[in-house]
Amino acid sequence: MKNSCFAISRALTVAVSMLPFMAGASLSPASAAENEVPLSLRLSPSQYKQSVLEIFGPSISITGRFEPELRDEGLLAIGARSASISASGVERYDDLARNVAMQVVDAQHRNTLIPCKPVSATAADDACARTFFGAVGRLMYRRPMTDKELATKVRLAGEAANARHDFYIGMQAVLSDMLLSPNFLYRYKTVETDPAVAGKQRLDGYSKATALSFFLWNAPPDDVLLKAAASGDLHTKEGLKRQVDRMVSSPSIEGGVRAFFSDMLGFSDFETLAKDPAFFPRFTPKVIDEAQEQTLRTIVDLLITRQGDYRDLFTTPNTFLTRPLAAVYNVPIVETADNGQPDHWVPYTYKPNDPRAGILAQVSFVALHSPAGRTSPTDRGKALREFILCQAVPPPPGNVDFKFVQDTTNPVYKTTRDRLTAHRSEAMCAGCHKITDPIGLALENFDSAGGFRTKENGVNIDTSGELSGAKFDGPVGLAKVLHDEPAVTACVAKKAFSFGAGRAPSATDAEWQQIQAKFASSKYNFIELLRQIALSDALYSLPSSQVASVQ
């Protein structure tokens, strides 16, 4: 991660040096086109947290709840495009804002986070307020504040400070408001006249910087990127390439990779995941947290540290474990550091004949896509189709008769496979279950909590199956087939594009086809995929209605 501590202090120097630029600054003057496609995106909870971390440093804690996210076309990042903020959502953001603002101005933080001291702590100090809000506003709004905005903030802080006889109460009240502002909670894409093409519009530099930064880092633009936006560098191919290359080689790329895979793999559903401790005593709340982290560490290790092939995520024997997770996996781990601290992460490599391989055999997949007490091959197969292969599974029809599944007295239907096979004999059910169950049944060696098993109700579990004509046996066999399945790489490329652009790519788009080709020629290097998307128009293009001539 970037050295995020006190970005505001670092930015202060810049803000002061930019004062001449900001004098008379106004937002882009181009009028908004009447596009019907929303260009703004609501900050996700992780983006909100990362913004506060980057701007105010890690000692500001964020306690509170966020408005639930909305998943659309398989991604929260697309749902953010249409996500409004409800009345109770505003209430939640207000609670969060007040809590953050209170900490920023408290006695512990004010001397480091507010880079000036008021003449009197019991009265307004416009100069100090202006310095602080000018610096912090540029980072929070991801552009310099306008003169009018800044003047309003200074005036209101002064009124509150004088009324309460406390400079810091004024600062707190206005900072709290800024954290509640749509300028902070939404990432707006604003347009300006494109001087290179007569009569056309383009995203302004700050909007480009914001789109780029949240895509690659899941964080707001840093000072260097904001400067590039201000200078117009981001409008040139060379300038954009300089920034993209800098960003993909920064440690902060991990934030972007983690955010993308958390979204793609549906980790937001962990919020409502629970298992019965009577059946799965090792599946503790700690395991729920650590299961996500295990998968993200596996991904970061392979895709960033080793610069590996994306397809190997499904077959890699390398992962990381803690003691609670190792208990679920039923493997001994030997800790060599930290004197046995329970949440210490230890690299672990599966043995050659281990039934587990890759991220789909991890708790974060097999437990997340299972009901609380028992497995559901249909749920797992559906998740695999939708999350990994980008293949839609239609919802089950109403008025389905489950007479075969319900006939548990029949000695033939003893295992889940038996019952589902019977169910699939129903014509109206066969279509969907044919595409979900064979791959879901391959993971039946893992119980609802992710533990390994070989029998169900005393009968050996049959984990054979078929995907796209390739036959396999068991989770490792499935992993190998997935590794060579073209839909796997096409899917991650499509999702990464959508994650950045807030929309799915058009199949006929030449630039999209080029991105896919370069991903393949890089041996499916995921960081190279991100780089290609960041250099393309995906993040910066405007809907056709908006590209129309400006009168």
Partner 1 sequence: MAATSVLERMLNRRRVLKGMMAGSAITVGLPTFDCLLNDNGNAYAATGAPLQPRFATWFWALGLGEADWRPKDAGTNYELPIQLQALKPIQKKMNLFSGGQVFLDGQSNSTHYTGVQGMMTGKVSSTGGYFGSFDTVITDLIAQGTRFRSIECTASGDPKATWSSRLDTGLQPSEVSPLALYTRIFGPEYKDPNAAEFTPDPDVMVRHSVLSAVKDEREELMRLLGASDRAKLDNYFTSLRTLEQKLAFQLQKPEPLAACTKPGVPEKEKEQALTLATDAMERHNQFAVLLAHALACGQTRSVNYAMTVGMSGLRMEGDPTNHHTYTHEEPIDPVLGYQVKSAWFQSLYMKALYDFAMTMDNIQEGDRTLLDRMVIFAYTDHGAPRLHSIRNYPVITIGSGNGRMKTGMHIPKSGDAVTRVGLTVQQAMGVPISEWGFGSNRVTSSISEVLA
Q: Are 491 and 388 in contact (CB under 8 A)?
A: yes
Count CB atoms within 10 A of the CB of residue 138.
Answer: 25
In the complex, the smallest distance separating the C-beta of residue 380 from partner 1, rounded to whole angstroms, is 15
Q: Which is nearer to partner 1, 115 or 170 (CB)?
A: 170
65: left (phi over 0), alpha (psi -120 to 50) or beta: beta
CA distance 512 to 439: 29
Long-range contacts for 113-117 (Cβ within 8 Å, ≥24 apart)?
113/6, 113/8, 113/9, 113/56, 113/57, 114/171, 115/8, 115/9, 115/12
Q: Which is nearer to partner 1, 96 or 302 (CB)?
A: 96
Residues in the chain: 551
DSSP code of residue 105: H
Question: What type of residue is 514?
Answer: Q
Alpha helices in 369-509 (DSSP H): 377-383, 403-406, 416-424, 427-441, 474-483, 486-501
Contacts of 220 (CB under 8 A, 6+ apart): 50, 51, 54, 55, 139, 140, 142, 210, 213, 214
CA distance 488 to 467: 12
Residue in this structure with the two tokens 């679920």, named with its chain if needed: 328
Q: Are 459 and 416 in contact (CB under 8 A)?
A: no
Q: Which is nearer to partner 1, 3 or 406 (CB)?
A: 406
In the complex, the smallest distance separating the C-beta of residue 519 from partner 1, rounded to whole angstroms, is 31
In the complex, the smallest distance separating the C-beta of residue 217 from partner 1, rounded to whole angstroms, is 24
Contacts of 196 (CB under 8 A, 6+ apart): 235
Coil, strand or helix: which one is 446? Answer: strand
Give the pair of three-digit tokens for residue 301: 């290790």
Q: Are 499 and 263 in contact (CB under 8 A)?
A: yes
Contacts of 334 (CB under 8 A, 6+ apart): 346
Q: Which is nearer to partner 1, 275 or 311 (CB)?
A: 275
In the complex, the smallest distance separating the C-beta of residue 273 from partner 1, rounded to whole angstroms, is 6
Q: What is the CA radius of gyration of the chain?
A: 26
Q: Which is nearer to partner 1, 28 or 541 (CB)?
A: 28
Count CB atoms within 10 A of the CB of residue 38.
Answer: 14
Q: Are 12 and 115 in contact (CB under 8 A)?
A: yes
In the complex, the smallest distance separating the C-beta of residue 437 from partner 1, rounded to whole angstroms, is 14
In the complex, the smallest distance separating the C-beta of residue 40 from partner 1, rounded to whole angstroms, is 5
In the complex, the smallest distance separating the C-beta of residue 409 from partner 1, rounded to whole angstroms, is 8
Contacts of 397 (CB under 8 A, 6+ apart): 428
CA angle 389/394/396 to nearest 5° reads 135
Q: Which is nearer to partner 1, 193 or 464 (CB)?
A: 193
